[in-house]
Structure 1
Amino acid sequence: MADTKREIERKFEFIKAKGARRGLPDLTGTAAIAAVSDQGTVDLDAVYYDTPDQRLAADGLTLRRRTGGADAGWHLKLPVSPGVRDEIATPLSDTVPRPLAALLRSRVRDQELEPQVRLLSSRKVSHLLDADGALLAELSTDTVRAERGGAAAAWTEVEVELADGVDPALLDAVEKTFRKAGLRVSDAPSKLARALVETDAAPPAKPPAAGPGDGTAGAHVLAYLREQLDALIAQDPAVRRDLPDSVHQMRVASRRMRSAFKTHRGLLDRSATDPLGEELRWLAAELGVDRDQEVLLERIRTRLDELPRTLQLGPVRARLRVWNTTRRSGSRRRALAALDSPRYLALLDALDALLAEPPLLKPAAAPAREALPEAVLHDYERLAGRVGAALALDPGHERDLALHEARKAAKRARYAAEAAVPALGKPAKRLAKSMKEVQTLLGDHQDSVVAREALRGIGAQAAGGGESAFTWGVLYAREEAIAECRERELPGIWAAASKQELRTALG
């Protein structure tokens, strides 16, 4: 069983200068701190695990097995933002616990997790209390000895960790007091990071950071693909933890990569990218079962909340819960099974390999500002054709299908424009904004199509259970009206998005 805690802290170290003071100042009176309560000293023994090429350290993650103190056990720390990490703890065991290993799978893959560094710490603990005696933060002074192979290092650091719900501004006030007393914020984000530096360990292996590279179209596209792969890998543990919006973000990253492969077929060898695109489509589909159900439930629930109670006949909310539980339990299992599959890990390895040895074609050597507009405008023209074809159809099933295809084209055009913004600037940004407006309208239309199908099914289930299906029919009619409204709005939205200056600005 794992416990999760949001950790908000700041680490300090004493300034290394001749004559500098080494003691901690009294924090009583700093911000809301009314008292400092000594909690004694505890000895901690922590062994940090990583792959031989330090994949976790490269991404700022730490995994340790620690004895001593009140929270002995395994601790996995996942970065959230500077100074903020999620700590996931499990009880002591001899091997890496399976729940933690699963959260690391997208990074570790088939590598072994092995002991890398041992940290022995003598920790002096104090509690920072407010006027009512409530805990504001824990103040720790750690005397640390790091051991890695035959190398060793020692240092002293000070850490202030906020209690749950305390305003982070307290850390700023403490930092100001500490600076006057000869302490500064530590450059090292964690004890492990400092231990690796202090023991002269080689820096963790890390892929090149996303950026403009040499200014070529190929470098630009590769930087964008690396950014999306990093996002996909980072969202993997969040999906496993069932964090809000994580499935959506992971799915978006996979779709952006697949879309980039299609948009830039003139820059990347299709024999290498097409198979990966199909695998990315598989992953998005497996994840989408869970995400689509989440979105659909929220839409139906919102429409139900908007309905007057006089039109809510029968146990409609109970029926909705039963319908959702039945569908979502299977969809989440399917998503997690995909993330645990060899196929998924093979995809990640293949994407890494492609970025390490990119299959660039000759046009990729052209300057980005010259090569990218053609690809972006090609996707725009593709969308224009689909919108025109859809608007030429009479309302009904065939038009619904055509509008759905136009929605997918709008998404691809938007992604292409957004990816080009670093190279093309404001014209690409304006085009991306226009494409997003078209995508949003078409997305609402498609969501209405899907919602109507679900409502028809729920209504049938209700009738089969002897309940009134009236409410589900009312919601169906409302969704039908919403779809008709979006179809009427489309010509105007498209006209605004297809102004000539947007089409020529990138040319």
Structure 2
Amino acid sequence: MADTLREIERKYEARGDAGGTARLPDLSGVATVATVTDQGTAELDAVYYDTADLRLAAAGITLRRRTGGSDPGWHVKLPVAPGVRDEFHAPLSNGLPRSLAALVRSRTRDVPLAPLIRIASRRDVRHLLDKRGTLLAEAGTDAVTATLLTGDGASTAWTEVEVELAQDGDPALLDALEPHLRKAGLRPSDAPSKLARALAETGVRAPARSVKQPGGKASAGDHLLAFLREQAEAVAALDPGARRGTEDAVHQMRVATRRLRSAFRTHRKLLDRRITDPVGEELKWLATELGVDRDREVLTERLRERLDEIPRPLVRGPVRARLRTWSHGSRTGSRRHLTAVLDSKRYLTLLDTLDALLADPPLRAAAAGPPRPAFAKAVLADYARLAGRVEHALATEPGQARDIALHEARKAAKRARYAAEAATPALGGPAKRFAKQMKAVQTLLGDHQDSVMARGALLTIAAQAEEAGESAFTFGVLYGREEQQAAQDERELPALWEKASDRRWREGLGA
């Protein structure tokens, strides 16, 4: 796997810069900077790669092969926030390393990469040190020349100042330095990266991929498409983190697929379901595959927390070791499985299908109408569906049948919540408050379902312990506690539902 760094930097150029006046002022004594040391000059030569339709540039991603400086090699930079990127390094080689190719696969898919532009920089490097000599940041003045490797071979040149925090550096330092840089005649660069500026100044326009909320006269279809684009972008953007095991990436990616599928089902009056239903089935497949690892992680964490809660005398035998054995045994190959899914033709085709659907959306005539009535009706329809399932569950005798009914109600609560969240840009505060109520119901029902799943797992683990000649007593204690938790959730549901189903929440939506 490639080496990873978190890059936090700011770029500056001279006011009215005509290509060579930007200079780094002396920053000694500013904030926590005690001294500034001259690290000499580095010659950097990088070739940037992209698809013919500039998919990486559209997503704010840079892929380059660079020589010179302290870190020659292949680099991929993924945007995290303005001025913040995760940078992945791999050693120099003739071809793009597989580890880096995987990080951009959700964007490139099966489309080949080719050299796009060459950027050469002559960098005067300064290190900003505190009084103990610890590196706080690196600042440099870059004389940049960029030349297109396609088309007419246009070129451009400029000078910029770049200040990059040391790893684990304090972002407040950048705020403290900025007034001094501005006083020296510098201003923040309009371009987020050298690549973005080079493309703009050589006349290359990358397609916009940012998701913007519709304006005041937008139709119901405009609002719905903005939500769908946001979720589709989330799937592609979270792909690298899911591949690398970044915390919560798989979960958030799964949520985005569910939001997409839920929106297709909720807004069947706005979308042609002959087109969206097959896509929804593929999203269901992806969510299921993403959940193979995630569900087991959540369940294992729940059982560990429950084990921590019981008195020590009730812990009999190698309980934690048995729990680890069960957890690891059930997850054998799960990371490889996830990678195989994300590299599969089926997944990459789904991403292409989503792009095509959003480029030419299958909107029905009702989508041209105003957003408020369309979204309000959709949210209330999902609420009515949820109400029927909750009432059925509450009328069912405790036991397996009620567990199943409550699980179905949980899925309906999630759909109602997603519908309200998607409606918030159109309906404002009432939809946001309604979503909060639906989330509370979903959370309670989710805890109940987790308890059901935990009891099933505990029966399996207890049987494994007995087969190994170990005591299963503690797993019985945990099972009993999960039964109590489920019963408590069931007792709390009627009052919570009464609050969540208060007519005032629906009246705010226009009921």
Normalising by the smaller structure, the TM-score range is over 0.9
2:397 alignment partner, SS class: coil
- 1:388 CA displacement: 0.7
1:78 alignment partner, SS class: strand
1:312 has 2:310 as partner: no
1:229 is aligned to 232
TM-score with structure 1 setting the length: 0.97
1:118 has 2:118 as partner: yes
Gaps of at least 5 residues in structure 2 are: none
2:139 is aligned to 139
**1:89-238 aligned within 5 A:** 89-149=89-149, 150-201=153-204, 203-207=205-209, 209-212=211-214, 214-238=217-241
1:50 is aligned to 50
Which of 287, 291, 295 matches 1:288?
A: 291
1:482 is aligned to 485
2:331 alignment partner, SS class: helix
- 1:206 CA displacement: 2.5
CA contact (8 A) 2:66 2:73 kept: yes
1:10 is aligned to 10
**1:442-461 aligned within 5 A:** 442-461=445-464
Which of 411, 425, 428 matches 2:428?
A: 425
The aligned amino acid for 1:454 is: A
CA contact (8 A) 1:42 1:123 kept: yes
**1:356-395 aligned within 5 A:** 356-395=359-398
- 1:181 CA displacement: 0.9
Alpha-carbon separation, structure 1, partners of 2:302 and 2:411: 20
Q: When the two structures are aligned, how many residues end up with a matched partner? A: 505
- 1:22 CA displacement: 4.8
Which of 392, 397, 416 matches 2:419?
A: 416
Alpha-carbon separation, structure 1, partners of 2:396 and 2:23: 79
Which of 239, 242, 256 matches 1:239?
A: 242
1:267 has 2:270 as partner: yes
The aligned amino acid for 2:143 is: T
Alpha-carbon separation, structure 2, partners of 1:204 and 1:354: 20
1:235 alignment partner, SS class: helix
Alpha-carbon separation, structure 1, partners of 2:116 and 2:386: 52
Alpha-carbon separation, structure 2, partners of 1:65 and 1:216: 45
Cα RMSD between the aligned structures? 1.4
TM-score with structure 2 setting the length: 0.96
2:75 alignment partner, SS class: strand
Alpha-carbon separation, structure 2, partners of 1:85 and 1:365: 39
CA contact (8 A) 1:449 1:483 kept: yes
- 1:215 CA displacement: 2.1
CA contact (8 A) 1:228 1:257 kept: yes
The aligned amino acid for 1:269 is: D
- 1:124 CA displacement: 1.2
1:49 alignment partner, SS class: strand
- 1:76 CA displacement: 0.3
Identical-pair percentage? 65
- 1:338 CA displacement: 1.3
1:38 is aligned to 38
Alpha-carbon separation, structure 1, partners of 2:122 and 2:218: 51
Change (3 A) 1:126 1:431: same
1:126 alignment partner, SS class: strand
Q: Deviations over 1:100-126 (max 9, x none)?
A: 111111111111111001011111111
Deviates more, 1:22-31 or 1:249-258: 22-31
CA contact (8 A) 1:379 1:412 kept: yes
Stretches of 4+ aligned residues off by more than 6 angstroms:
none
Alpha-carbon separation, structure 1, partners of 2:16 and 2:222: 42
- 1:208 CA displacement: 7.0
Alpha-carbon separation, structure 1, partners of 2:333 and 2:269: 40
Alpha-carbon separation, structure 1, partners of 2:507 and 2:178: 53
CA contact (8 A) 1:210 1:226 kept: no
- 1:17 CA displacement: 6.6
Deviates more, 1:271-280 or 1:135-144: 135-144
The aligned amino acid for 1:333 is: R
